[in-house]
Amino acid sequence: MTVYTKSSSADLLPPVSSVGVIGWVRQNLFSSVGSSLMSLCALYLLYMTVPPAINWAFIDADWFGMDRDACTSGGACWVFVTVRINQFLFGFYPSSEYWRVVLAFSIAGILVAWLLVDRAPYKGFVGLITLVVYPIVAYFLFYGGLGLEVVETHKWGGLMLTLILATIGMVCALPLGIILALGRRSSMPIAKSFSVIFIEFWRGVPLITVLFMSSVMLPIFMPEEMQIDKLLRALIGIIFFQSAYMAEVVRGGLQAIPKASMRRLRPWDFLTGSR
């Protein structure tokens, strides 16, 4: 009678074809005839596109210089990017005032970082400053006034303008969107229908026509003595447009709450007036 002992024979290693690089390749690239064919096609496609692209973008590219003449090697011409980096970032903002933009964004960065850190103290206070005091400070930093040189909005541009539009758009569209979503779910027929019409209207038209409308029609809608800044017009269009989409997102979230827990707690009863 033989007794099995663990040391009687060394454990066999798994076959070479199923572990390591070879095993991975077999399992993930050549598991069947079809899969192998697809892998080969994909590899060929990559071979045809990736090396020339890398060549063009990095190896044959020109990085430094002052103008087009510096681009001689036939690859990408990054010279323009390095020469015009300020325009990419600030548009036509006067270069002597760049520090104001940098300062405004730095303050915003610090405030937001403070709010994002879990255990930071005085969160409520900092939040209040971010929402109430900071916008005023940022307005004077970006636009000017109070002794700072005024920079008209048509000189703003580049990444700076993108960030400003996006931030203000998001911050203003969210509360409006929440109100609209609550309105759409409310049991008051008039409030509900106004919300539905507002949401469906803005969701049904392209952003570019909204911007057209706000730039062409807003001046007609307002009394003549009230001149609205062009940037502000675009901003109003963006906020309305975005709030309609935000409203649908919020509505989706509200719908995901089971009805039973809704009945138990309806903090917005004061708004909808329903029982």
Partner 1 sequence: MGQTEQKQSWWNNGQNRALVFQVVLTLAVVLFFWYIINNTLLNMEKRGIATGFGFLSQAAGFGIIQHLVAYDETYSFGRTFLVGLLNTLLVAVIGIVFATIIGLVVGVARLSSNWLISTLAAVYIEVFRNIPLLLQIFFWYFAVLRGLPLPRGSWEVNESFFMNIRGLYIPRPIFESGFSWVIWAVVLAFVVAFVIRRWARRRQAETGQQFNSTLAGLGVILILPLTVFFAVGSPLSWEVPVLKGFNFKGGMVVIPELTALVVALSIYTGAFIAEIVRSGILAVSHGQTEAALSLGLRPRRVLSLVVIPQALRVIIPQQTSQYLNLVKNSSLATAIGYPDLVSVFAGTTLNQTGQAMEVIAMTMGVYLFISLTISALMNWYNKKKMLIER
Residues that bind partner 1 (CB under 8 A): 28-29, 31, 35, 38-39, 42-43, 46, 187-191, 194, 200-201, 203-209, 212-213, 216-217, 219-224, 269, 271-275
Nearer to partner 1, 51 or 145 (CB): 51
Burial class of residue 46, CB neighbours in 10 A (0-12, 13-18, 19+): exposed
Nearer to partner 1, 53 or 148 (CB): 53
**Cβ atoms of 79 and 98 closer than 8 Å:** no
Nearer to partner 1, 137 or 236 (CB): 236
**Encoding tokens for residue 221?**
């809608």
Nearer to partner 1, 200 or 229 (CB): 200
Least spacing, CB of residue 190 vs partner 1, in Å: 4
**Encoding tokens for residue 2?**
């033989």
**Cβ atoms of 142 and 101 closer than 8 Å:** yes
Nearer to partner 1, 121 or 204 (CB): 204
Nearer to partner 1, 42 or 133 (CB): 42
Least spacing, CB of residue 186 vs partner 1, in Å: 8
Our measurement of the distance from residue 216's CA atom to the centroid of its chain's CA atoms, rounded to an integer in Å, reads 27
Least spacing, CB of residue 29 vs partner 1, in Å: 6
- C-alpha dihedral (198, 204, 210, 216), degrees to nearest 10: -90
Nearest-angstrom CA–CA distance, 84 and 166: 23
Least spacing, CB of residue 131 vs partner 1, in Å: 25
Residue 99: other Cβ atoms inside 10 A:
11
Read off the DSSP letter of residue 55: I
Least spacing, CB of residue 24 vs partner 1, in Å: 8
Least spacing, CB of residue 257 vs partner 1, in Å: 19
**Cβ atoms of 88 and 158 closer than 8 Å:** yes
**Cβ atoms of 90 and 162 closer than 8 Å:** no
